[in-house]
Structure 1
Amino acid sequence: MSAEPPIRVVLADDQAMIRAGLRMVVESEPGMEVVGEAADGVEAVAIARRFQPDVVLMDISMPRLDGLTAARQLLDTPRPPKIIMLTTFDTDENLYAALRAGTSGFLLKVSPPEQLVEAIRVVAGGDGLLDPAVTTRVIASFAGRHEPVRPPQLAELTPRELEVLRMLARGLTNAEIAGELFVGEATVKTHVARVLMKLNLRDRAQAVVFAYESGVVTPGAAG
């Protein structure tokens, strides 16, 4: 049985010491490798396009091109990587902007190494949300400030797919959804893939944003 290919990671931060620390953590972990580094947003876009990583660790505040703009450019490519935003400040505004842009999550630079490694694995695998409690809280808070808009593509979802979308909005993993629905994880994976495809969403984080902004779930009702 052949081994799984390593998770390919690009590091983007304007501080060399931060990049060195991130590299040390990632490369000490079996099944991960750093394939490129960038010191600003312009470099981050160029290097990620060149090396086609699975995950980009992107500083939110960088010269020449900020991390959020760089992330939007990368997410607009045919084979976008998963992007984890790195920041010094845990502000809800930054997190919501990053999630709406299509990034997979948000991590503080002071997070412990094991949290960084777990975050990379979670977003690369696509089976869960990065820090579901924080993610759903922030999205519910910001989405609740506006009247929900129900997009027409919602009508394409089957009742079961709508149920899965509501569970995604609660931050449940595939295993947790499988447990609630009494089905196998492979079946859940299929449902999640169809939900994302029909709604033209990149990943679970965007599905949570969509669920709240469309009124499929309402703040306070998804827990």
Structure 2
Amino acid sequence: MTTRVPVQVYAEDPVLRAGVVHQLRPRPEVEVLSAQEESRAAVSLVVVDEVDDAATRLLRRLQRTSTTRTGVVVSRLDREALQLAVESDVTAVIRRLEATQDRLVDAVLSLARGEAVLPGDLVATLLAHVGKLQHSTLDPNGLTLSTLTLREVDMLRLLSEGFGTAEIASKMSYSERTVKNILHGVTTRLNLRNRTHAVGYVMRHGLI
């Protein structure tokens, strides 16, 4: 990337924040912002032991008041907390034990590109959970699996697993332009903000 991605790091525990900031600050791909520069952030990283009430309030605030793309660096995350995080528009989850410098930077860059970053086992857990909800929850927009083509479902599933546009194009034997056009068509048709919103939306409704 030609410009550095401005990142705001949040943590109630100053030691947790300092650890992540220490990892990110030397890297030329990112710019770690001060608290006073919050409005400049393109990416927000919330560092917590678990998604508790305080973390949930922060995630909800970011969802309501900012345009940043949000990731969570977390020690413990159960199924309910994962679902709550996704409902708060969190599109990257990194376990603290796996939060190496390269992993953190890769997550920030993926978030800046509008891509989701979820460990494979967490994706499987979330999909199983929302799949159960599909049968008991009515979507006010009448969204069903038939709303999406098989090709769209496959692309959204790959997107939810953290693959970029070029990787999806290679895996599905399409041109990158075709992938971009199809994903744009999904977001436009469902009145969604972007690809990340599309992934979170269809996952919450059990469609992938």
Matched ranges for 1:12-161 at <5 A: 12-37=10-35, 48=38, 51-60=39-48, 66-77=54-65, 80-110=67-97, 111-126=99-114, 128-131=115-118, 133-146=120-133, 147=135, 149=138, 151-152=141-142, 159=149
Question: SS of the counterpart of 2:33?
Answer: strand
CA offsets per residue over residues 108-160 of structure 1, 9 Å max, x none?
Answer: 2332222111111111112x42135134212212112221645336699674x
> Cα distance, 1:215 vs. partner?
5.0
CA change 1:158–1:138 in 2 (3 A) is closer
CA change 1:187–1:87 in 2 (3 A) is same
CA change 1:215–1:182 in 2 (3 A) is same
Which one of the candidate residues 137, 151, 154 is aligned to 1:163?
151
Q: Which moved more, 1:15-24 or 1:165-174?
A: 165-174
The AA in structure 2 aligned to 1:59 is: V
Structure 2: how far apart are the matches of 1:90 and 1:214? 21
Gaps of 5+ in 2: none
CA change 1:36–1:165 in 2 (3 A) is farther
CA offsets per residue over residues 168-192 of structure 1, 9 Å max, x none?
Answer: 1243432233124433223322322
Question: SS of the counterpart of 1:105?
Answer: strand
TM-score in terms of structure 2 length: 0.78
> Cα distance, 1:4 vs. partner?
2.0
Q: Match of 1:195?
A: 186
CA change 1:21–1:11 in 2 (3 A) is same
Asked if the contact 2:49/2:75 (under 8 Å) is kept, the reply is: no
CA offsets per residue over residues 57-114 of structure 1, 9 Å max, x none?
Answer: 113469xx7222222222223x510111122213222122101221112122332222
Tell me the number of residue pairs that the alignment of Structure 1 and Structure 2 aligns: 199
The AA in structure 1 aligned to 2:89 is: G
Structure 1: how far apart are the matches of 2:86 and 2:156? 14
The AA in structure 2 aligned to 1:163 is: R
Structure 2: how far apart are the matches of 1:214 and 1:157? 12
Asked if the contact 1:9/1:55 (under 8 Å) is kept, the reply is: yes
Gaps of 5+ in 1: 38-45, 218-223
Q: Tell me how large the CA RMSD over aligned residues is.
A: 3.1
Matched ranges for 1:201-212 at <5 A: 201-204=192-195, 206-212=197-203
Structure 2: how far apart are the matches of 1:70 and 1:109? 19
Asked if the contact 1:139/1:208 (under 8 Å) is kept, the reply is: no
Instruction: Give aligned-pair identity as a percent.
Output: 21
Question: SS of the counterpart of 1:104?
Answer: strand
Question: SS of the counterpart of 2:2?
Answer: coil
